[in-house]
Structure formats: C-alpha cells, structure tokens
Amino acid sequence: MKELSVRLNGNPVGKLGQTINGKMTFTYERGAANAISLNMPIREESYGEIECEAFFGGLLPESDATKRAIGMRYGISHHNTFALLKAIGYDCAGAISFHHLEEAVQLTKSVPLEGKTISEQELYEHIQALPKKPLFMGFEGLRLSLAGVHDKAAVCLIDNKIALPKHGCPTTHILKPAAPGLQNIVENEYFCLKLGAEMGLTTPSVEIRQIKDTSFLLIERYDRKIIDNEVERIHQEDFCQALGVVSIKKYQSEGGPGFKEVFNLLSNTTQPAIDRNKLAAALVFNYLIGNMDAHGKNFSLLYKPNSQITLAPFYDLLCTRIYPALTDKMAMKIGNKYEADQVLPRHWEQLCHEIDYAYPALKKLIKKQGEAILFLLKNSSELTQGINQNFIAKLSMQLERHIDKTLNRLEKS
C-alpha cells in the first residue's frame, strides 16, 4: 500500500492509499474533526475507489493533454490519480494538500505570503509555455493543481505584482489566458462576471491584464484569505465532488447532476433558503447570457472557518453561445429541454416543481434580470471599458436577441 498524508489547513485529516492493484482508499485519522466532503463524512471504515475518484480526482485538471504533460514531466501515468496528486497536490482547490507521511506538519493555519516576483517577459514566456508546461509546472518547484479543462495557472499577487509562491505559500489568484479558437474569451468572461455582479450575484474580484499580444484574467481566489500578510486556505468542494460524481460525468446528459440534485444539496448549507435564492439567480443569469457550460463542477460549496457552509461565489460565467464551435445544449436541462431556444414557460414551471421553487417568484426573477441586463447593455459604458468594442457589440446583439425572445415567451404565458 502506497500512502499520502491528506491535510486540511496543514493538519493531517486522513491517508490516501493506493493498493497494489492501483485502487485508491481514504481513511480518516482517529480524532479527525472536519470531513473533507459531504459525500465522505467522518467514519472509521475506509472509503473506496468510487468515492476517492469523485473527490480526489475532482481536484485535478480535466484535460487529457494536460494530465499527459504532467505525467511525462514526472514519469507517471496520466491516468493515475494517486500519482498525479503526489506530484502536484501541494496546493489544490480548498484547504486540501497532499504530503509524504514523514513531512513535517504545518503548525499554524496561515502561512506568510511569500513569492518570487517575475518579470513581464518571464510571465509572458510562462504563459506561452502553458500547453506544454501546464499550471506553470516545473517553475520554482511548483506543485499545484487546478480543476477545469482550459489552460490556467495559480499565482500569488504581491504588491500588485504577479509572483510564484515560495516556502509553501498557498496561491492567491488564478491566471486564465485566452483559450485557442475562442476569440475574446478573456473579455467575454470578464464582462459576464462584472454583469453578474451587477445582477446581485456574488462573484470573485477579477481584472484583465495584458502582456505584449497576450491578455489574461487575474481572478482573486475566494478559497484563500489574507490577513496581515498571512494566507489561509478555506476549504471548498464543487457540486460534483459533494455529490460523489466523477469529473468525466459532470454533464447531466452523461449522468451528472441536474438542477434537482444541486438544489437538494443546499439543504446542507447553514442558510439553505438564502442559498437556494442565490442559486436560482445564477441559474437564470446563466440562461439569459447563454452560458451552456454551467455544469456541476462550476458551482461550489465553501466551508468557512466558523463552521458555516455557504454557496461559493459564482465563477466561469461567460456566453458560450457566441462560439459556433461550442455546443448549444445546456449542461443541465430546464424541464425536459436541453436546448435553450426550446424552453417555454411550461418548462420553467416543470423545473420549479422539480426543485420546489415558486414559479411566480422565478418568473419575476427572469423578467427582472432580463430587463436589467438589456438596460445595462445600452447604458453602462463602465462594464465595457477597455474591451474590444466590436466584440461587445456582437455579444450584446447575441444577448439582446435571446433575452427579448425569453421575455416575450413569458409575457404570453
């Protein structure tokens, strides 16, 4: 049996094992005070491969090419979740980290904010190398992991300058450059995050930065807290992890969660009614902006230090419908429809019945958000400052057409 020490905020919480036949197990330490996942409550018996792959595998990048590059760098199989976490699992989403059993235990919850500031030229070279060196792998001994499909990296922001972490410092920001073939995706996500905030959604702080011909998003991590130059991890898990669903099945059509499952999940939060309303607002917003990729891994629960469980800020908000190469099928169906243009008032009613939500309240929310977005598209220059205006005009046309159709259908019901 191979084993890794699994730590929560630096404290050992359990051991991740790999048997001789390659299967994973997880066993909580005696006296463990906090569970790592809703799907893996504290118990004496070990958890097996199915639960382990859903939670621990959900911490890794989803791209096969990214995993293959990591595997080649460390001489391991890119299918081996245990080996990948051993290689890069020091800084993961939430407060989880992976260590050798004999590695010294972190004595405090927080770690000094320390990093090596890198020049613009170095950063530019690192970004260009992302496809071959994902997550800035190999630079300054970085061992970090981020879930998701597209190339990105985790960094520290020190004195407003981008730095690579040192001496075990957790990363504080996520750097997301443009994805190949998806024109203006940086501006798209920035605009939609800002628009979501205007709609009252809780979203992370974000800015666009530019180096030479490369633009990228710099997103503040909501699973980190910085006080007096000390960084503390805050535990989180995405909805697929919390429901025990492996990443490759994140879409409802492939066995992943639908709105019924994700709304039911919120019964575990400290204030379920408030979080249900927040999730309903995000559901409507994603529909109105044409975000077809709002699957179970794009929503998370946040475990705050005061033992409160809350719905995490919303992320990965963007209009995917503007890209012809991407699917026009929603990640979670509304009623019995995956096609956004086929959703009628009766399908919204069907959804409300499934999630136990009042249809008049949801109908009012759709109308309120739709009208507010249409107003902002015409009257808020602040949202589009510094963004390619031709792209914004194209995006606005896409949103206006979809929202007008949606509101017209509602008026007739």
Q: How far apart are CA 123 and CA 378, in angstroms?
A: 36
The catalytically annotated residue of 223, 275, 293, 316 is 293
Tell me: pLDDT of 139 over 80: no
Average pLDDT of 292-313? 95
Average pLDDT of 187-208? 96
User: Sorting pLDDT into bands at 50, 70 and 90, what band is 307?
Assistant: confident
Name which of 87, 30, 18 is nearest 59 in CA terms: 87
Tokens of 340: 């956004």
pLDDT in tens, 308-367: 999 999 999 999 999 999 999 999 999 999 999 999 999 999 999 999 999 999 999 999
pLDDT of residue 311: 98
pLDDT in tens, 246-283: 999 999 999 999 999 999 999 999 999 999 999 999 99
Annotated active-site residue 293? The verdict is yes
Long-range contacts of 14-17 (CB under 8 A, 24+ apart): 15/101, 16/52, 16/56, 16/82, 16/85, 16/98, 17/46
**Which residue is associated with the tokens 């359990």?**
14
User: Sorting pLDDT into bands at 50, 70 and 90, what band is 140?
Assistant: low
- Percent of the chain scored above 70 by pLDDT? 99
Q: How far apart are CA 206 and CA 218, in angstroms?
A: 6
Average pLDDT of 99-121? 92
Domain 234-412 coded CATH 1.10.1070.20: yes
The predicted model scores a pTM of: 0.95
Cβ(283)–Cβ(277) below 8 Å: no
The sign of the torsion formed by the CA atoms of 167, 168, 173, 176 equals positive
The residue ranges of every structural domain in the chain are 2-99, 110-220, 234-412
